[in-house]
Amino acid sequence: MWQCKVISISRALGAGGEEIGRDVAARLGFRFVDEEIVATAAEKAGVSPEKMARIERTPPLIQRILQQMGSTAVEPAGYVPPSAHTSPGYEALIEQVILETAAQGNVVILAHGASIPLAEAGGVVRVLITGSSESRAARLSAQGSVDARQAGKAVEDSDRERKKYLERFYGIGTELSTHYDMVLNTDVLPLSVAADAIVAAVKE
């Protein structure tokens, strides 16, 4: 009998993926893992979690925007996010930690492109939480951290960097719906309903 032991959630910025992931984990009694991936990989590599986070990806977009807001109302024209330099050893460590975490079972893994290395693993449901750029920007703006213009820029930059991340780490030039078992669009679906759908799917 098939039984889900791992839920891998990938999400676009502003789509509500973290909220959904935490909700699903709480309902199922699963662990919720996100930054632990980076921390464990850093421990294995003998570097700080902060350094490993820089290796894995560029600084969080909202953080960069807020830093810019400290000195100017909007990001300066021509602003280019700093590039992340990776080494094959560190990349392999992050993937190893993802696989080890999944092997422990009863876990919701958020982000890190985990759905790609877990594609052949048993008992895994891979979920993409997404939405239109407009609805995602509106959700970010509604949270009060940034205004509508900055939220739109954050979503645009995040989508571009996410694409680069998948290509750099996993050689995925074009992200497809077939990389996932479920694709949920939160433009209309309330986040709680999206969580309902995931829980229902894994309990079948």
Report if residue 1 sits inside a domain. Answer: no
Q: Is residue 149 part of a domain?
A: yes
Give the total number of structural domains in the chain: 1
Question: What is the reported pTM?
Answer: 0.79
Residue pointed to by tokens 């980076």: 38
Work out whether the CA dihedral 93, 176, 158, 31 comes out positive or negative. Answer: negative
State the residue range of the domain holding 59.
Answer: 6-203
CATH of residue 195: 3.40.50.300
Q: pLDDT 10s digit of each residue in the chain, 204 long? A: 678 999 999 999 999 999 999 999 999 999 999 877 767 777 776 766 676 666 665 444 444 444 444 433 333 333 333 333 444 466 777 888 889 899 999 999 998 889 999 999 999 999 999 999 999 999 999 988 789 999 999 999 999 989 988 988 888 989 999 999 999 999 999 999 999 999 999 986
